[in-house]
Amino acid sequence: MSETTQIPPSHSDQPQGSRFEPGPATVVKSEPLAPNLQLLTVHAPAVAAKIQPGQFIILRADEHGERVPLTVADWDREAGTVSCVFMQVGTSTYKLGELKEGDVVPTFVGPLGKAVELDKWGTVMCAGGCYGIAGIYPIARGLKELGNEVIVFIEGRSGFLLYWLDKLEAVADRVIIATRDGSLGEKEGYPHAVGRMLDEGEQVDRVVAIGCTFMMYEMSETTRPFEVKTIVSLNPIMIDGTGMCGACRVSVDGETRFACVDGPDFDGHQVDWDLLFSRRKAYLRPETDSAER
């Protein structure tokens, strides 16, 4: 059975009471953007009609697959399509990478989570690494539409791992690139490049960062001494994505929050990063065994 569940944004903080809209989610496009990084576009009109920057969807590659949360990277409301970019890291994302045009995704649930807060803040840095290069795109676009000066800062180990530069350039005032091997843009990684910019007095009123947990942690620690509010999109282990199972528990400003319904965006200066890192490692052994099998 195929299902598409759509949760209206007005109810996205109370998903238990949301409406349920079954329908097919068919793969429209699946293409590699870089090694291990895949773009997936599906036809899911009910989700495309409502999704907002910062929200995510949950899908399964097949009837027996795990539920995989993915940040929305783009959508076309008229065509009824939703796009995500994922990194192949284990069993479920390897299976997602095998989907082809015309395949039906048996579960495609969303929009989930709260939309990221967008307002006119002045100069906003949108930082993305890995799948976050795509995740940051609709946020940068939304911020630009509201009249902000948008600096997009993207990072990868090497230049060939970066993608969507043209899309990002179209919505940003400036795109800064950093690669750890120096093959493209700045050679220094995020913390140094951003720290140096802030040290030199560059005006940045807010940072929004999406990427691996370590990247978001580093960004938060870099901006903390400069007191630049830094919003991060947390990616703890999730199961149901509706606030029922507790798997995505995080601690923010000393309070327990569920990333799937209270987030996924939180103030990076208030996140208990040690707890997040240790909870993310909880299933490492079974995940590795599963991927090897």
Ligand X SMILES: Cc1cc2nc3c(=O)[nH]c(=O)nc-3n(C[C@H](O)[C@H](O)[C@H](O)COP(=O)(O)OP(=O)(O)OC[C@H]3O[C@@H](n4cnc5c(N)ncnc54)[C@H](O)[C@@H]3O)c2cc1C
Q: Residue numbers of the site for ligand X (CB under 6 A)?
A: 56, 66, 68-71, 84-87, 89-93, 131, 135, 235-238, 264, 280, 287, 290-291
Q: How far is the CB of 236 from ligand FES (least distance, A)?
A: 8
Amino acid at 147: G
Strand ranges across the sheet with 229-233: 174-179, 149-156, 123-129, 206-210, 229-233, 265-267
Residues in CB range of 8: below 8 A, 6 or more apart: 18, 19, 50
Q: How far is the CB of 149 from ligand X (least distance, A)?
A: 26
- What residues are paired with 81 via a beta bridge? 43, 76
Instruction: Tell me how many degrees the CA angle 234-84-183 measures, rounded to the nearest 5.
Output: 80
Which of the listed partners (ligand FES, ligand X, none) does 244 bind, with a CB threshold of 5 to 8 Å by partner kind? Answer: ligand FES
> Quick check: helix, strand or coil at residue 142?
helix
- Contact track, ligand FES, 17-56, x by CB under 6 A: ----------------------------------------
CB distance 235 to 56 below 8 Å: no
Which of the listed partners (ligand FES, ligand X, none) does 129 bind, with a CB threshold of 5 to 8 Å by partner kind? Answer: none
- Contact track, ligand FES, 227-246, x by CB under 6 A: -----------xxxx-xxxx
Which of the listed partners (ligand FES, ligand X, none) does 280 bind, with a CB threshold of 5 to 8 Å by partner kind? Answer: ligand X
Q: Where on the chain is the footprint of ligand FES (CB under 6 A)?
A: 238-241, 243-248, 258, 260
